[in-house]
Structure 1
């Protein structure tokens, strides 16, 4: 068994999974027993956020510990085989590889489809999955955008074909196999970015039958989440059978809130993918309201983190890198180049996280949160314009639905948050100049 001071790391990352789409976060219509077990056996991150309301920037923040603008990915990246991606820099995978970890990625990359930006260039020694933003779950073809369809399934740097195999299941099997093979020599880092429940809405018949009583739309989403939960079960079983479960830090989250996007279907019909749930939060994918950025978060490390605990202080995906390296090294890393902070002490000993401003931006929208207060600027309800709120201040403790603007009652809070936002914008301008000159 591996030294508990050097835990194995498993990160499970869903795609477009809403804050209200897991049983442990209040969904009573979707069977997620394996993910719920992570909540029962570890910590529920009830104030957990992605760094962006869309996918590529969120993934960049997870792997680099930086805001999207600092990492160099602020928009959804394309899917042709010439699409560039994440600028060259250290990642969680390269940091762990340098510390002697075996590193593997199984699932969705979406940080550059060009071969020069493949995961192998960012610290991953073994990879299986696809490089674009989404694929057909059975043919593994990327159909979207103004170009011909592109087959997109890779094992390391070799294109492979698994026609007719449901990708969520295959991802789980490949990740579990990596754990089984890596455990004897350990430690290992297994990154599993599922594409579920991102469109297209494909699910096996057995999972559709499991949620047969749900209405159309919710049923397909629920079936896809249930299939992902089964794949998570395979991964957790591999940890148990290899004797590494207690000494493995398992994090589960999502890249952004639920999708309300529409895509062309047969005969030009527009179909909205609206089966995900934000759990009553305002907004959806593409929005800086909490429904677009607040996501389920679970963290289990039986050797260190008390079972059934809860972190009810805000955290973001950019905090994962420093938190994981703190767990691995035994001391909090001094990393002036990252924007996240370690949350390990708060998770293990219920310590407070120092209050800090947290900022989100996407396509002209801004949001900044400090403590209980959140200011939004030019905020949309989802992916598409127009903005529905020009500027508003919310008290998230008393109004998590962001329904009542209190800026007139708390002008001093607005001024403070505007100052925080101005400081972020100044930093973003500096990051942009540095990236351009690199």
Structure 2
């Protein structure tokens, strides 16, 4: 018996599981974008239907205290893949579409660890962790590297950053899909390139009007952040993007079904621009924001059907979560805030994307492994940063002591054998970190950044000694009890400072909404 199977056998014998698959389980992480705790039916949503995700919860464990490490996308993705909090890397902030790779290719990552254990590893969907070498100009028309391959993915089909950032092309295994060499791509975030119309110069061409930041080069009737020229044949169609990614995810599963595989299915829904396929228009009462969630759920359902059709359901771990909390207006005037009604996208929690309030980082999180993991509900405190150490342990991998610094092996909690999760975790917002330990949440003095309902960023100022909340009785973080429990404040502040340092120094050292820009 090889080492991996022996390790898995021992693990589940100790856990009291009587059955064991003949090989290491497949692993699929479905990572939504800007989808909040309250956007999913099994977490309380009524204005949008999510039957496929709800069925995952019926078949698996639904977690109520699971967190992304940050309330914005690049930091969360960095943490999930590396097992490190993003604040440890000064470049792990929201990146422009032409930023260099921010992961050190010599360090262990989730895909590289699983690949060493014999897994075929695949990325489909959103990347947004940078591409290329920081010391060299990036030529989009040649092999684009380093990128997903260099951090452990055997196969990749992805966008460079987000749908609202250029370049608006798909990249497969390091090369732009459908690129005509006589029409080279140029990307710039500092100054205009080419003569393509922009949202400012030609607003009549737009499907949806946008703010000034999102009003640069128009691609497929939508203006983006940044300027792009060339690559006309390679540019994507927004409405078709979900089907393109879904089909690539299905292809990866079917092509690798004979051996263990790891698929990171990083969906774009419901990040802006929200332009769902016409067949999903009107499928919710929330306008295009809700329609995008319905579209996402349908795609997940199709992927689950693929697993079933190929006899893989019972030997595949499926994890569903999101990269950060929800946002209504985020640069495009698409009606999301006007049509939101009584829907609570963050559920009972305060805040959303960009903030350290609970709604910014407390995520829907479901783990399904039919026949092995008993369905149920768990309030164990877990973080996405723990997936690396936990899945490494599951598959028998050994992580060097200096790798995955912040990742903890929470296999027992993840697979429903214990309610004991983390002792505490760090929550990162824009220019601000907070800490949760048990039922307590502490936010140090400083400015908590929020995206307002009218689109402007605003701050809630926390004064000394910081704010303390008892979450079981105060999910809305409305009642600051810091002055009532000074000892608890002192305890949590000491833990926070030990992890991330002095808050005042941190605030002056970090850009608010973007990282370094290169031409």
TM-score using structure 2 length: 0.73
Contact 2:109 2:152 in 1 (8 A): yes
Matched, 1:326 2:393: yes
Partners in 2 of 1:285 and 1:409 — Cα distance?
29
Matched, 1:198 2:271: yes
Residues 181-219 of structure 1: CA distance to partner in whole angstroms, max 9, x if unpaired?
1112x10001000111000121122212322xx2xxx22
Equivalent position of 1:405 in the other structure: 480
Contact 1:72 1:87 in 2 (8 A): no
How large is the Cα RMSD of the aligned pairs?
2.6
Partners in 1 of 2:339 and 2:400 — Cα distance?
42
Partners in 1 of 2:236 and 2:159 — Cα distance?
14
Deviation at 1:261, TM superposition (A): 4.3
Alignment gaps of 5+ in structure 1:
136-141, 143-148, 433-438
Secondary structure of the 2:450 match is coil
| Higher Rg | 2
Deviation at 1:133, TM superposition (A): 2.6
Deviation at 1:4, TM superposition (A): 5.3
More helix by share: 1
Contact 2:131 2:147 in 1 (8 A): yes
Equivalent position of 1:415 in the other structure: 490
CA gap 1:328/1:95 in 2 versus in 1, 3 angstroms = same
Residues 95-128 of structure 1: CA distance to partner in whole angstroms, max 9, x if unpaired?
1111110011000000003333421111101111
CA gap 1:274/1:427 in 2 versus in 1, 3 angstroms = farther
Partners in 1 of 2:74 and 2:319 — Cα distance?
19
After alignment, is 168-177 or 42-51 more displaced? 168-177
Q: 2:124 aligns with which of 83, 106, 121?
A: 106
Contact 2:169 2:235 in 1 (8 A): no
Matched, 1:337 2:337: no
Give 1:172-211 correspondences, 5 Å limit.
Answer: 172-184=246-258, 186-211=259-284
TM-score using structure 1 length: 0.86
Q: 2:240 aligns with which of 162, 166, 182?
A: 166
CA gap 1:353/1:121 in 2 versus in 1, 3 angstroms = same
Partners in 2 of 1:386 and 1:99 — Cα distance?
46
Partners in 1 of 2:97 and 2:63 — Cα distance?
32
Contact 2:394 2:411 in 1 (8 A): yes
